[in-house]
Amino acid sequence: MGLRRLAPMLALALLPLGAGGGAPGSPEERFREATAQARAGDLPRALQLYGELAAAGHESASLYWNWAQAAQARGAAGEALWALLRAREVEPGDRALPREIERLRETANLDLAEVSPEPFQALARLGRRFHLGLVALALLAVALGLHAAARWLTLARWPVAAGWAAGLLGLLAAAPPLLGSLARPVGVVITHGAGLLDSASPGAAALGTLREGEVVPLLERSGEYLRVEDSSGARGWARLEDVRPLERPARP
């Protein structure tokens, strides 16, 4: 077994089992079972269990980290990158994730533009990490309160100045979430040799090939097909089984 193949398996052996003592059938127990299956080499079963947990809403950075390691051990680099990117969406403050994403990007020989096609998404993550939406609301409420107080404290000028300062800070805090909302939804190409098609139908002709692991903006959906745009600007349709949306959990 080569070093590239062995490294993910060694990583799996070091992964945490999650919270211990879970009741039979509980999310904690199923997480432990999935990790045990991955360690035993039954990667398809492990991926199935991770997918079921995520689809049921039991998302965490640990779950997606383990999912990524199992996918990489199976040779599915695109799915591994999707899992790491999803983990970053769930827990944007996890410092280990950017390093692992960068390592996998380099391993897959992808350009930065191919994994970050929507710059505003970084602002959205920043807003979630520091809860800037709530901070903005709190600061704007303080600003309104200070302006209201200034009407009663006619001899004091500081409430007005403090109110304007709080309002300005509130607007600055609101900027990242608002700009982040402008980002288009994206998906990750999880299949090697996935085709870029000229229509959303089984008989569609291939316009080209999407790169495994590339993050592509999602423009439209029609049944089991997604209209995407690759890093070169080419647009076409891809099968849903080949491009996994990043904004929601999905079964493998």
Return the CATH number at 214: 2.30.30.40
Q: What is the pLDDT of residue 242?
A: 97
**Residue 21 is assigned to a structural domain of this protein:** yes
Q: Is the dihedral of CA 219, 131, 27, 50 positive or negative?
A: positive
Query: Is the pLDDT assigned to residue 5 strictly greater than 80?
Result: no
Q: 169 and 133, same structural domain? A: yes
The band of 1, judged by pLDDT with boundaries at 50, 70 and 90, is: very low
Q: Choose between 62 and 150: higher pLDDT.
A: 62
The band of 25, judged by pLDDT with boundaries at 50, 70 and 90, is: confident
Q: In what order do the strands lie in the sheet with 243-245?
A: 206-209, 195-197, 235-239, 225-229, 215-222, 186-189, 243-245
What domain range includes position 132? 125-180
Q: What is the pLDDT of residue 17?
A: 41
Radius of gyration in angstroms for the set of CA atoms belonging to the chain, rounded to a whole number: 23
Number of structural domains, the chain? Answer: 3
Q: 158 and 73, same structural domain? A: no
Q: 163 and 74, same structural domain? A: no
Q: 97 and 7, same structural domain? A: yes
Q: What is the pLDDT of residue 23?
A: 60
Q: What is the pLDDT of residue 248?
A: 67
Cβ–Cβ < 8 Å for 61, 87 = yes
Q: What is the pLDDT of residue 88?
A: 95
Tokens (6 digits) for 236: 């076409």
**Residue 159 is assigned to a structural domain of this protein:** yes
What average pLDDT does the structure give for the chain?
87
Q: 8 and 100, same structural domain? A: yes
Note if the pTM is more than 0.85: no
Q: 103 and 131, same structural domain? A: no
